[in-house]
Chain A
């Protein structure tokens, strides 16, 4: 897992947009912490419901920061307050020296935003939509055209370059939306479920591009449900539930409680009764025909024998034993949160 240079070195010299190239080193002279994104004790109430209930977090330039949480946890509410669509009940949101709550115009200029809904590009050709988005963000057209070509190549969208939005699949449209949001990225790039509808191959390319934004000094605030893929892409992440930040850290630190544990996944035969898990395993969760549990590394051979026995008995069709993932930590951390306490996102 990559850690942003500024954080890894424990230095005050934060990564600033562009510190990856010689040219940009000459151009960017921002002081330390100039573009740190801070959310302090943020509260947003809709009537009596607290969609955000005292959230505090900090994202450094160059950092890809994941926001994870169940539906209705308050992630989108946080994003909408950042970009100026909602006003906090209390608390502050700042980007460097700019108060994004008091100055939503600054928020729109300094932040790029990919919303969860599709972009309105039905009447646009792909390259035109991306270039126009860059132009609207005030960037020089020569650079916008070059960056557009790079994004189209990077995400392998070349065959749709001149295709109208009405003829694009949902996944390609999603990627074009990503390009529009990042053709001229702000200091903070907010991506709300960027991988929705995207095929596995291009999802991998998309994660590379997101990592690229962080590597060049943008702060990236990534809202996603895709826990397994986020694990590989984020530097740090926060888990939000019931409007509160319930856990924060690197993916490794989040998984620390699952150290020395393994994930045993058994694909049950259709219609099979759920077998009782062994006493030495953790609690088991069945989703569809998948039965997932955790076992200690020392019990790996016993776990394999148990799963193989289920196959022999015709109860299961196959099994997989592997390292625990962030998803296991996610389930563990959210399992104590009563779902009836979750607040709706507007």
Chain B
């Protein structure tokens, strides 16, 4: 029989540990947990992300014999948004749905880790699984179409906020919807909507006015605005509003996810 040393207890002398020191230590542990959980799929996810990004960028030239630079620029600067959303918004909820089905979801909720730590660690994973594909997509677009890209420092907040908003939206979907089948359906529906009915890869002027107006209330169109503005020199007066709308969605989604995770029926 193994001998147990009581000093390995989490809180040997009765105090419940709280504070920033514990937060930092737990963040590293949960980052390790998320990465190890995905290790079988991490390479596959990265490859699929790169292939899908490059596929969008190059695929447009297969549809038309001549691609105007402005059109190629629009697609190439829209693809990074897709890259940044895929893991957090689409894959994340599906993973949680699987955990619910397998019965392991409750165990993960009983770990002595705060909700903000788990969310921050997952956000880190989503961000860094989207970045390589984003960089490769931009490089391929630049090489294929000789685009007038101009990357400004604003790319940093644009990427960070876009990925954060997508991750928090996915997090809210994953934890607020308790039926795994519904979560799977909603995430599938989101793919369909984002690719088909959100002006990320094509200009909003090509949409019916009512659909353009409807898109204003959702964050995805605004994500394309802030990312595209940070990758090109063209000034866009809509950028401040876009940041505000994405920020509101991020806060609301994070609040909803926090409520869902803390809920005790």
> Is there contact, CB below 8 Å, between A138 and B3?
no
Q: Mark A91-133, 1 if CB is under 8 A from B, else 0.
A: 0000011100001111011110101111110111000100010
A153 surroundings in chain B (CB, below 8 A): 2
Cβ-neighbour of A118 out of B8, B13, B103 (below 8 A): B103
User: Nearest chain-A residue to B11 (Cβ)?
Assistant: A109
User: With contacts A28-B13, A85-B106, A115-B106 known, is A139 near B40, CB below 8 A?
Assistant: no
- CA of A122 to CA of B108, assembled, Å: 14
> Is there contact, CB below 8 Å, between B4 and A138?
no
Q: Does B104 contact A (CB under 8 A)?
A: yes
Interface SS, A side: loop
A115 surroundings in chain B (CB, below 8 A): 103-104, 106-107, 110
B16 surroundings in chain A (CB, below 8 A): 98, 103, 105-106, 109-110
> Is there contact, CB below 8 Å, between A136 and B4?
no
User: With contacts A117-B104, A132-B32, A153-B2 known, is A105 near B110, CB below 8 A?
Assistant: no
- CB of A265, distance to nearest CB on chain B (Å): 32
A218 surroundings in chain B (CB, below 8 A): 4
- CB of A154, distance to nearest CB on chain B (Å): 4
- CA of A18 to CA of B8, assembled, Å: 10
> Is there contact, CB below 8 Å, between A120 and B108?
yes
Cβ-neighbour of B265 out of A86, A137, A138 (below 8 A): A86
> Is there contact, CB below 8 Å, between A143 and B5?
yes
- CA of A200 to CA of B193, assembled, Å: 54
B40 surroundings in chain A (CB, below 8 A): 122-123, 166
> Is there contact, CB below 8 Å, between B5 and A147?
yes
Cβ-neighbour of A28 out of B6, B18, B41, B112 (below 8 A): B6
Interface size on B, residues (CB 8 A): 46
Q: Does B99 contact A (CB under 8 A)?
A: yes
- CB of B206, distance to nearest CB on chain A (Å): 43
Q: Does A339 contact B (CB under 8 A)?
A: no
User: Nearest chain-B residue to A205 (Cβ)?
Assistant: B1
Contacting B at CB under 8 A, from A231-270, are none
> Is there contact, CB below 8 Å, between B25 and A138?
yes
> Is there contact, CB below 8 Å, between B112 and A138?
yes
A143 surroundings in chain B (CB, below 8 A): 5, 7-8
User: Nearest chain-A residue to B263 (Cβ)?
Assistant: A87
Cβ-neighbour of A30 out of B5, B13, B102, B103 (below 8 A): B13
> Is there contact, CB below 8 Å, between B14 and A35?
yes
Q: Does A195 contact B (CB under 8 A)?
A: no
A21 surroundings in chain B (CB, below 8 A): 3, 5-6
A34 surroundings in chain B (CB, below 8 A): 14
B1, B13, B108, most chain A CB atoms within 10 A: B1
User: With contacts A115-B107, A134-B8, A151-B2 known, is A120 near B112, CB below 8 A?
Assistant: no
- CA of A47 to CA of B25, assembled, Å: 41
Across the A-B interface, the 7 shortest Cβ-Cβ residue pairs: A18-B6, A117-B103, A150-B2, A120-B104, A87-B264, A17-B6, A154-B2
Provide 12 A-B residue pairs closer than 8 Å at the C-beta atoms, listed in order of the A residue: A16-B6, A17-B6, A19-B6, A24-B7, A97-B14, A115-B106, A119-B104, A120-B37, A123-B38, A123-B39, A138-B11, A346-B265
Given contacts A20-B3, A216-B6, A217-B6, 17 further A-B contacts (CB under 8 A): A17-B9, A18-B4, A18-B9, A28-B6, A30-B13, A105-B114, A109-B16, A113-B107, A117-B102, A119-B107, A123-B38, A123-B40, A136-B26, A139-B9, A140-B8, A166-B40, A185-B9
